[in-house]
């Protein structure tokens, strides 16, 4: 039996605590350190029996892997420090705050031959992996449409930084949709976005409409809002997050030349009779058997542990995957700010997505 991987969790906020919980339950992991600079929070962790330390330099010898769960502006520095110690690293999304940081981080990981993973955990759901396999049944993809609209409670915006440009749904929520679409359909070449703050009237947008052009010509759209009440969002569809009410309603549709796929239910629409598939003929509907319900954060950690042991993984988002998703997310923010399309490669190295609403 392989010995557990000694793991360090860097950052003990909400998402860091989630990683700590699943690490303690995973037999493939030994939680060797939790890095938390805040003294009061660190005392709480130590009182709970956790191996909390003040900095990465205080972590004990023998650690093999780390999860970076600090605020986004710190991702680059903490991940670099972990790589410098020879650890395999999983960085919560987004990989870094800027493209310059992302490229530098990926270059160091590559130079050292160390695994670098981005925490886009939605890939770990069985229904996400099944969706990619089912795409062969709808013919060459033509278009994809996503609708994410969940009304955040009013007190959510009592926190000052959440009212500042860059903290709206375009930067905090849409990266999940971008990574999922890239996982299913490939790289995105161009983005155009419109933003609005008409309902809340804050400096940050509350709604955005984003158009996408993929490398192979597939067109896509994402309508995202945190002020509109609806049952359509990944979290509501999947029931993944216990803090968000479940609806079971599909929120994403992929259309091909021979049919369509609704996600995450994996309902297929396709050929019902011989001959050409065309609009005078009804499509046949096929329900896909329900996938197993898993904790994607726990599954991601299991897969990460295997990578730290030297195995390959076809599902997890690599560092370059995270950088590519970050680039398109920032491109959407830049397009919303300038009102012009932004192609891949057109995001400045130091741009942080501080969009201004119109």
| Cα separations in angstroms, 17 against 90, 93, 315 | 15, 15, 24
In this prediction, residue 305 has a pLDDT band, given cuts at 50, 70 and 90, of very high
When pLDDT is averaged across residues 180-188 and rounded to a whole number, the result is 98
When pLDDT is averaged across residues 125-149 and rounded to a whole number, the result is 97
Of 213, 201, 204, residue with least CA distance to 171: 204
pLDDT, one tens digit per residue, over 198-209 is 999 998 899 999
Tell me how far apart the alpha carbons of residues 85 and 82 are, in angstroms, rounded to a whole number.
Answer: 5
When pLDDT is averaged across residues 169-196 and rounded to a whole number, the result is 95
pLDDT, one tens digit per residue, over 319-354 is 999 999 999 999 999 999 999 999 999 999 999 986
Domain ranges within the chain, ordered by starting residue: 5-119, 126-291+325-343
Percent of the chain topping pLDDT 70: 98
Tell me how far apart the alpha carbons of residues 7 and 20 are, in angstroms, rounded to a whole number.
Answer: 10
**CB atoms near residue 138 (< 10 Å):** 20
CATH class of 5-119: alpha beta
**pTM for the whole thing?**
0.94
The whole-number pLDDT of residue 354 equals 65
In this prediction, residue 291 has a pLDDT band, given cuts at 50, 70 and 90, of confident
Q: Superfamily assignment of 126-291+325-343 in CATH? A: Dihydrodipicolinate Reductase; domain 2 (3.30.360.10)
| Cα separations in angstroms, 263 against 20, 88, 221 | 30, 32, 15
Tell me how far apart the alpha carbons of residues 110 and 116 are, in angstroms, rounded to a whole number.
Answer: 8
Average pLDDT of the residues of the chain:
95
Question: Given a cut of 80, is residue 223 above it in pLDDT?
Answer: yes
Question: Given a cut of 80, is residue 33 above it in pLDDT?
Answer: yes
Any idea of the CA torsion for 252, 319, 117, 98, to the nearest 10 degrees?
A: -80
In this prediction, residue 1 has a pLDDT band, given cuts at 50, 70 and 90, of low
Specify burial of residue 101 (Cβ count, 10 A radius: 0-12, 13-18, 19+).
buried
Topology alike, domains 5-119 and 126-291+325-343: no
| Cα separations in angstroms, 179 against 81, 126, 135, 182, 206 | 26, 16, 17, 5, 21
In this prediction, residue 357 has a pLDDT band, given cuts at 50, 70 and 90, of very low
pLDDT, one tens digit per residue, over 91-107 is 999 999 999 999 999 99
The whole-number pLDDT of residue 287 equals 92
The whole-number pLDDT of residue 358 equals 38
298, containing H or E segment? helix 296-308
Of residues 164 and 137, the one with the higher pLDDT is: 137
Tell me how far apart the alpha carbons of residues 297 and 24 are, in angstroms, rounded to a whole number.
Answer: 13
């Amino acid at each position: 039996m392989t010995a557990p991987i000694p793991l360090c969790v860097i950052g003990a906020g909400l998402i860091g605590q989630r990683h700590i919980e699943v690490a303690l339950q995973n037999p493939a992991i030994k939680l060797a350190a939790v890095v938390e600079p805040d003294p009061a929070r660190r005392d709480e962790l130590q009182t709970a029996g956790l191996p909390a330390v003040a900095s990465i330099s205080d972590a004990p010898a023998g650690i093999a892997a780390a999860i970076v769960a600090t605020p986004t502006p710190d991702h680059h520095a903490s991940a670099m420090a972990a790589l410098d110690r020879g650890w395999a690293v999983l960085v919560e999304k987004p990989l870094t705050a800027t493209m310059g940081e992302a490229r530098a981080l990926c270059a160091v990981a590559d130079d050292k031959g160390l695994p670098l993973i981005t925490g886009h955990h939605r890939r770990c759901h069985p229904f996400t992996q099944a969706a990619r396999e089912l795409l062969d049944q709808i013919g060459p993809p033509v278009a994809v449409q996503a609708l994410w609209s969940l009304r955040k409670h009013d007190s959510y915006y009592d926190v000052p930084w959440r009212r500042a440009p860059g903290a709206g749904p375009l930067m905090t929520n849409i990266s999940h949709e971008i990574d999922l679409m890239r996982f299913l359909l490939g790289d995105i070449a161009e983005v155009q976005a419109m933003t609005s703050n008409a309902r809340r009237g804050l400096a940050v947008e509350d709604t955005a409409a984003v158009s996408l052009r993929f490398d192979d010509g597939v067109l896509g759209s994402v309508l995202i809002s945190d002020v509109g009440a609806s049952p359509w969002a990944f979290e509501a569809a999947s029931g993944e997050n216990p803090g968000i009410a479940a609806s079971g309603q599909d929120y994403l549709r992929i259309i091909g030349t021979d049919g369509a796929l609704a996600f995450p239910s994996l309902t297929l629409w396709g050929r019902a009779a011989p001959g050409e598939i065309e609009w005078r003929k009804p499509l046949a509907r096929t329900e896909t058997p329900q996938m197993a319900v898993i904790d994607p954060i726990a599954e991601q950690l299991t897969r990460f542990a295997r990578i730290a042991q030297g195995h390959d993984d076809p599902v997890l988002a690599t560092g370059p995957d995270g950088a590519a998703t970050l680039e398109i997310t920032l491109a959407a923010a830049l397009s919303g700010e300038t009102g012009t399309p932004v192609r891949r490669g057109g995001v400045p190295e130091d741009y942080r997505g501080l969009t201004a609403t119109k």
